[in-house]
Structure 1
Amino acid sequence: MKVFDILPPLDAALRPKKPVVLALGFFDGVHLGHQAVLRRARQEADRRGLALAVMTFDVHPAVIYRGVPAASVRYLSPRPRKEALMADCGVDLLYFVHFTPEFAALAPQAFVDQYLVGLNAAVVVAGFDYTYGKRAVANMATLPTYAAARFAVVTVPEALQDGQKISSTRIRKALDAGDVDLANGLLGYAYRTSGPVVHGEARGRTLGFPTANIDTPAAERLPGIGIYVVRVLVRGAWVPGMASVGRNVTFGAGRPVTLEINLFDFNTDIYGAATQVEWLHYLRGEVKFDGAAGLIAQLQHDQAESEAYLKELGN
């Protein structure tokens, strides 16, 4: 897969020499609904013998349209993760348009002329709710008019699960509530975050449950406070464990939220190592214990539950 940055306006040098099937969307999380769009686009590309291209954005459109501070946005799939997921979906060409105020101000016809025609689209594929300006005039129903027969338009219908739309918003809400089980069901894979292993307070070691403290990038969406079953990719191997997202309330009030992971049967020094954390299952919420003994008993129970869950998964 080749990846390109478009700093508006579109540089003619980035125009594919041959026509492409072009899929459109922000694709945060590349969830099951997004995968349906990409699968339909891949089918069109294969049928026509064309490359599959995707046009997405470098930041969430809300940063420009609603003035949301860019540093405050927490993504389901920051750029490196999105690139990996797109490659898994068979994308050949991935374009990140830098969502500038000038780009956001484009009239619908100008957007179509400069970007869709500009990227040599033979077919444009997007979800039923894709917009490229004001929803009332810049939607998938009006796109054929702007296209003026220069490319075909394929609209992918709404993807539902349990009678509800599969959406990035729904997944974000599930993660914030700690419901990684629901989030994973909507994503179609186990949610991941990343970050290096950093030094913590080393308290877990004194309890018999040493932990790896992970410094999650601010742009990534960490699941809500709670205890989870996880797998961690570190130094080329997936290691099972249990994770705590919380404030360590047993040891004092007003503490910051941290991510600490107890890796099962693992004693290697991994300070500074990069990790990928795969979130598999929610166990319980954070509890304040009267002392270390109660906490240790609970951790023993959590480990037993985690290992039983992992055994069911075949891990």
Structure 2
Amino acid sequence: MKTLHVTHPLKDYEIPTENTVLIMGFFDGVHLGHQKVIKTGVDLAHEHNLKSVLFTFDRSPRVVYQKEQNFKYLSSEARKQELIAQLGVDYLYFIEFTEEFSKLSPQEFVDDYMIGLHAKYVVAGFDYTYGKRDIANMETLPNYSHDEFKIITVPKQTFDQEKIGSTSIKELIENNQIDEANELLGYTYQNSGIVIHGLQRGRTLGFPTANLAVGKGELIPSIGVYVTKILVGDKWYDSMTSVGYNVTFSENTGVTVECNIFDFDQDIYGQDVKIEWLHYLRGEVKFDGAQGLVDQLKLDRENSKSFLYDK
């Protein structure tokens, strides 16, 4: 897959020379609903000997339109790229979603980024928009297409009769339901970050942890203790991870992400790592002292290993 980072307007050399199947959407999280849209486009490209082109944005439109501060994403740009590549897309376009770009009329957008990218088919989800929702939706797209391409609308994808959507998945992740979120994603939710120095209290308790500074803009699961895996170098290690406030010792650290890696003894400060969130174990508890916390951590480790190994 070739990835292009572009700005409006496109330069001639950024435009495909071949006819395409154009796959449209923001695809935050690349969840099961998104995967259906992308696979539909990829299969169509194979069927008609065309190139599949996925066109998306470098940030959420809400950051520009609603001026939303501190927007949290289910997938970083790098993670989105990785997930999309696994689905067999030929070209991935990230366009910078600027104020200027946001002011394009529906017709200008279709002319520049559908017809202009040599689309013979345009594939998108039922709720895709390219301007104001009431005038720039999949039902109105034929009004702008000039019959230059065929329109494939992928219907709503559901799980237990509920729509699979990025917003609902975020709510699950923020409310102790990482297991359910993983089902709707179709893979295990992941964060990336750098290992930083913490208070090193875990080491004194016999449970040394890697403190993770999570990538900017990435959504962190809710407060609690989780069964996890962590990627260090090129190897995944079993682990358990706490997202919390260090309430037992009343330390004003803010929210920390602390990963206790099983059967591991390496200095990894400053290293880039990835963490997968497999299962929610329990909420954060304030103990009377260190021994109560240690006893609970031993139980957490047993429960984590049971989840990992007893399936």
Query: Aligned residues: percent identity?
Result: 50
Match of 1:73 in 2: 71
Match of 1:40 in 2: 40
Match of 2:54 in 1: 54
Q: CA-to-partner distance for each residue in 1:224-249, whole Å, 9 max, x for gaps? A: 11000000010111000100000100
Alignment-mate amino acid for residue 39 of structure 2:
R
Q: Answer yes or no: is the 8 Å Cα contact 1:12–1:118 preserved in 2.
A: no
- Give unmatched runs, 5+ long, in structure 2: none
Rounded Cα–Cα distance in structure 2 between residues aligned with 1:61 and 1:12:
25
CA shift at 1:12, angstroms? 2.3
Rounded Cα–Cα distance in structure 2 between residues aligned with 1:148 and 1:213:
55
Could you list the runs of 4 or more consecutive aligned residues of structure 1 that deviate by over 2 angstroms after TM superposition? Answer: none
Rounded Cα–Cα distance in structure 2 between residues aligned with 1:196 and 1:96:
25
Please state whether the residue corresponding to 2:34 is helix, strand or coil.
Answer: helix
Q: Answer yes or no: is the 8 Å Cα contact 1:58–1:79 preserved in 2.
A: yes
CA shift at 1:255, angstroms? 3.2
TM-score (structure 1 length as normaliser): 0.97
Rounded Cα–Cα distance in structure 1 between residues aligned with 2:67 and 2:265:
46
- Give unmatched runs, 5+ long, in structure 1: none
Alignment-mate amino acid for residue 5 of structure 2:
D
Give runs of aligned pairs for residues 105-144 of structure 1, distance below 5 A: 105-144=103-142
**211, 214, 238: which one aligns with 1:213:** 211
Rounded Cα–Cα distance in structure 2 between residues aligned with 1:211 and 1:257:
15
Alignment-mate amino acid for residue 84 of structure 2:
M
**294, 297, 304: which one aligns with 2:295:** 297
**252, 273, 276: which one aligns with 1:275:** 273
Moved more, 282-291 or 169-178: 169-178
Please state whether the residue corresponding to 2:214 is helix, strand or coil.
Answer: coil
CA shift at 1:161, angstroms? 0.4
Rounded Cα–Cα distance in structure 1 between residues aligned with 2:46 and 2:94:
23
What's the C-alpha RMSD, in Å, of the aligned pairs? 1.0
Please state whether the residue corresponding to 1:215 is helix, strand or coil.
Answer: strand
Give runs of aligned pairs for residues 249-288 of structure 1, distance below 5 A: 249-252=247-250, 254-288=252-286
Q: CA-to-partner distance for each residue in 1:171-217, whole Å, 9 max, x for gaps? A: 11111112110110110000000111111111111111111111112
**238, 241, 250: which one aligns with 1:243:** 241
Q: Answer yes or no: is the 8 Å Cα contact 1:249–1:288 preserved in 2.
A: yes
Please state whether the residue corresponding to 1:259 is helix, strand or coil.
Answer: strand
Rounded Cα–Cα distance in structure 2 between residues aligned with 1:204 and 1:254:
16
Alignment-mate amino acid for residue 164 of structure 2:
I
Please state whether the residue corresponding to 2:284 is helix, strand or coil.
Answer: coil
Alignment-mate amino acid for residue 207 of structure 1:
L
Q: Answer yes or no: is the 8 Å Cα contact 1:249–1:255 preserved in 2.
A: no
Match of 2:23 in 1: 23
Please state whether the residue corresponding to 1:55 is helix, strand or coil.
Answer: strand
Match of 1:194 in 2: 192
**79, 95, 106: which one aligns with 2:93:** 95
Moved more, 39-48 or 9-18: 9-18
Match of 1:185 in 2: 183
CA shift at 1:105, angstroms? 1.1
Alignment-mate amino acid for residue 246 of structure 1:
G
Q: CA-to-partner distance for each residue in 1:106-162, whole Å, 9 max, x for gaps? A: 111111001111111111000000001111111101112211210111000000001
Q: CA-to-partner distance for each residue in 1:11-67, whole Å, 9 max, x for gaps? A: 222110000111000000000000000110011001001111100001100011101
Please state whether the residue corresponding to 1:183 is helix, strand or coil.
Answer: helix
CA shift at 1:74, angstroms? 1.6
Rounded Cα–Cα distance in structure 1 between residues aligned with 2:257 and 2:251:
17
CA shift at 1:253, angstroms? 5.3
1:156 aligns with 2:154: yes
Please state whether the residue corresponding to 1:200 is helix, strand or coil.
Answer: coil
TM-score (structure 2 length as normaliser): 0.98
Q: CA-to-partner distance for each residue in 1:73-108, whole Å, 9 max, x for gaps? A: 221111111110110111110011111112111111
